[in-house]
A and B are shown apart, each in its own frame.
Chain A
Amino acid sequence: MSAYFWLIPFFPGLSTLILVIFGRWLPKKYVSFQAPFAVFLSFLFGLSSFLSLPSTAAHHGEEFLSKTLFAWIYAGSFQVDFTLWFDPLTAIMVLVVTGVGFIIHVYSIGYMADDRSYTRYFSLLNLFTFAMLILVMAKNLVLMFVGWEGVGLCSYLLIGFWFEKHAAANAGKKAFIVNRIGDAAFILGIFFIILNLKTASFPEINQAIAEASLSPGLATLIALLLFVGATGKSAQIPLYVWLPDAMEGPTPVSALIHAATMVTAGVYMVTRLNHLFTFAPLASEVVALIGALTAVYAGTIALTQNDIKRVLAYSTISQIGYMFLGCGVGAYAAGMFHLYTHAFFKSLLFLAAGSVMHALSGELDMRKMGGLKKYLPLTYPTFLIGAITIAGVPFFSGFFSKDAILTQCFARGNYFLWALGLLGAIITAFYMFRLIFLTFHGEERFSQEVRHHLHESPPIMTGPLVVLAFFSVVSGYVGLPVVFGKNLNWFERFLEPVIKSHEEHHLTLNTEWMLIVASVAVALTGIAIAYWLYLKSPALPHQLVARFPGVYRLLVNKYYVDEIYNAAFVQPLVKGSEAIYYNFDLPVIDGAVNGSGRLMNFGGKLLSLLQSGQVRDYALVFLLGVAIILGLVVF
């Protein structure tokens, strides 16, 4: 089966094709079967390929599964094949994508049951899976870019799924365009690589870097360009603005694309090119810094948001910041590890939030919730598990992965970044529990009508929640920190063939313990503050708001970044274009064209005045001609 690993992306791809072409005539039941099944098939193939991978680093340097399907673009030195491969890094991503993807497909059957565009939804979801699989399985940068853009497209389409809502259509467009800005840089990065290394294939790139055929300055430039692409896709500063708006899409989409998979593509890309980034330390530092800043920054915005999905969105941005922080400091495995755990718990949170919305007839505003604990007996605990995980409570997966990043940060001497990470952690814990408390605890603030319809979601939706909750809890145990014993970090060892080895940063066990304690403390503090503010004395937040109105307004308005971008880029572009159109294109360029025509006409008018009809005038012109011609001869 693993010989056919290259079929993995094509199951959902084929499914998309069928749904798009024949979707109209297919019964809903069939669609509900086909779409998840295709993903499941991919998952099975992925799993078998995964199992067939050499299990240890002993096979280091050996070729992984790789298949060139056909020569793709060949023009001069630009030679790119359509090649898929399957190495440990890909394996993890494939499993996450198909695994989580499958669960979300199943969930969607329930969530989207009543939507009129049911088939379209599933075809897009399948298409997304296809593109994402291409992204992670591509053996070269250009093909990866295909997937990269493909997922962007699906993101666009799914965010704008309910295109009749202006907000949704706008959000989709915004996502795509912002992504495109990153992509432009990404393309340039690709060009630099192809131009200088004559290849776009990952193993060859790594080899070329190992042979030091790239100057460090150039490497930095390339790395930074690619990272700009990553900030677009993974919603980091400064290109994160699309992600919160992306919540206009259906919630399972948010879970799959805007939490678990697509947005982490940037992290995947950086990890994939870790040789390059390691070779460009400055770029790595930028990555780490941006990651850390985003982690804190997005967290602060999440503090004040009232839209349940937006809180989660900012939380996603923040968590991806952590991943970049990990990658930036060189702890690629840790970054990937967080990606992997995050995929479970964040999709869990989103799906649970979706379940809440489902229960409340689509209500998103936390201020109109409260006390839902007793109405949603399954959603509540799963949501809680998700929150605990993300907050970094020990023995849940989030704890291990986040701690791995922070530890590595510390170990490599980046104390400032570590401190930022901790700050982010406390904020995370706080806003997650604020969310929990506002939603499930306290008084019931929803209207009577909503209460009337209030119900727990059907099993097809709660089932996935339970599964994801399970994974949220246990998935961390594949990468235990050193304190629990050596060689327990199976995850890191698994990725060793892919990640450039560098000198080990050993901390003493004591220090490690201290760090763990610190992060646990931070997490608990955050939870405690949330408890205090939102359950113990619910009036306090309002007082705080009253005390710091400026800060509050800044946070509620998301630092005014959308407005600033609008004023700094969008409006000048549109206004400038209009100015050019009305003041230059029409009057000057077009005017020159029409003007020359008018000039001709005017000349004709003048000359036709001569043609007065009077013989005498004709004779005069005649004589004038004679005079001139004779003059030319005589003089």
Chain B
Amino acid sequence: MPPVAFFILSCLLFSLGGLAFIIKRDLITQFMAIEIMLNAANLALIAAAKFSGTLDAQIIVFFVITVAAAEAAVGLAIILLIYRQKKNIRSEEVNLLKG
């Protein structure tokens, strides 16, 4: 396996995640898209670890997963909050603040 394949996959996933963020229209799926992007980045890190033969990157991934978990907790709480107020989670309807 050439290492570049992993990076290509990572970039593809990252881009798809970005695309999903743009296309999806509910907050929760948009958040999921971000999780995809984070995972893509994780993949790149793991590949880099393998590439360089060092472990540090794996530890970083460990931290990133922790962070992702924490973010998920907070993010979902915020989405719940929004749902309680609006009774939906449509991204477009979160637009009180603009201009």
**A residues apposed to B, CB below 8 Å:** 608, 611-616, 619-620, 623
Contact = CB atoms under 8 A, between A and B. Distances in A.
A615 B30 contact: yes
B99 A619 contact: no
A613 B95 contact: yes
Nearest to A615: B91
A613 B98 contact: yes
A262 B93 CA distance: 89
Contact of A623 (B18, B30, B98, B99): B18
Given A616-B22, A620-B22, A623-B22, 15 more contacts: A608-B99, A611-B98, A612-B95, A613-B96, A613-B97, A614-B91, A614-B92, A614-B95, A615-B91, A615-B94, A616-B21, A616-B25, A616-B92, A619-B21, A623-B18
Contacts, number: 28
6 contacts: A611-B98, A612-B95, A613-B96, A615-B30, A619-B21, A623-B18
B94 A611 contact: no
A611 B99 contact: yes
Q: Which 7 A-B pairs have the closest CB atoms?
A: A613-B98, A613-B95, A608-B99, A615-B91, A612-B98, A611-B98, A611-B99
Nearest to B23: A616
Interface of B: 18, 21-22, 25, 30, 91-92, 94-99
A616 B98 contact: no
A614 B94 CA distance: 7
Nearest to A608: B99
A626 to B, nearest CB: 9
A612 B96 CA distance: 10
A635 B95 CA distance: 37
Contacts of B91: 614-616
A613 to B, nearest CB: 3
Contacts of B92: 614, 616
B40 to A, nearest CB: 14
A610 B21 CA distance: 18
A627 to B, nearest CB: 11
A613 B96 CA distance: 7
A620 B19 CA distance: 10
A25 to B, nearest CB: 71
Contacts of B95: 612-614
Nearest to B97: A613
A568 B97 CA distance: 65
Contacts of B98: 611-614
Nearest to B91: A615
A611 B21 CA distance: 18
B38 to A, nearest CB: 15
Contacts of A620: 22
A619 B25 CA distance: 13
A211 to B, nearest CB: 83
A55 B7 CA distance: 120
A227 B14 CA distance: 92
B64 to A, nearest CB: 19
B23 to A, nearest CB: 9
Contacts of A613: 94-99
Which of A611, A616, A620 is the most central at the interface, judged by chain B CB atoms within 10 Å of its CB?
Answer: A616
Contacts of B94: 613, 615
A615 B93 CA distance: 10
A615 B30 CA distance: 10
A613 B94 CA distance: 7
A614 B98 CA distance: 8
Given A614-B91, A614-B92, A619 B22 contact: yes
Contacts of B25: 616
B41 to A, nearest CB: 14
A611 B98 CA distance: 6
Contacts of B22: 616, 619-620, 623
A616 B93 CA distance: 11
Contacts of A615: 30, 91, 94
Interface centre among B21, B25, B94 (most CB of A within 10 A): B21
Counting chain B CB atoms within 10 Å of each CB, which of A608, A619, A623 scores highest? A619
Contacts of B30: 615
A623 B95 CA distance: 20
A608 B94 CA distance: 17
A546 B14 CA distance: 109
Nearest to B98: A613
A122 to B, nearest CB: 74
A611 B95 CA distance: 10
A123 B28 CA distance: 95
A603 to B, nearest CB: 15
A199 B19 CA distance: 89
A617 to B, nearest CB: 9
A615 B18 CA distance: 13
A615 B27 CA distance: 9
A450 B56 CA distance: 123
A260 B5 CA distance: 113
A468 to B, nearest CB: 88
A620 B98 CA distance: 15
A288 to B, nearest CB: 82
Nearest to A626: B18
A591 B30 CA distance: 49
A341 to B, nearest CB: 89
A615 B33 CA distance: 14
A616 B25 CA distance: 8
Nearest to B96: A613
A609 to B, nearest CB: 9
A623 B30 CA distance: 15
A620 B97 CA distance: 17
A612 B97 CA distance: 8
A615 B29 CA distance: 13
B99 to A, nearest CB: 5
B34 to A, nearest CB: 10
A614 to B, nearest CB: 6
A623 B37 CA distance: 13
B11 to A, nearest CB: 11
A162 to B, nearest CB: 66
B89 to A, nearest CB: 12
A608 B98 CA distance: 8
A608 B97 CA distance: 12
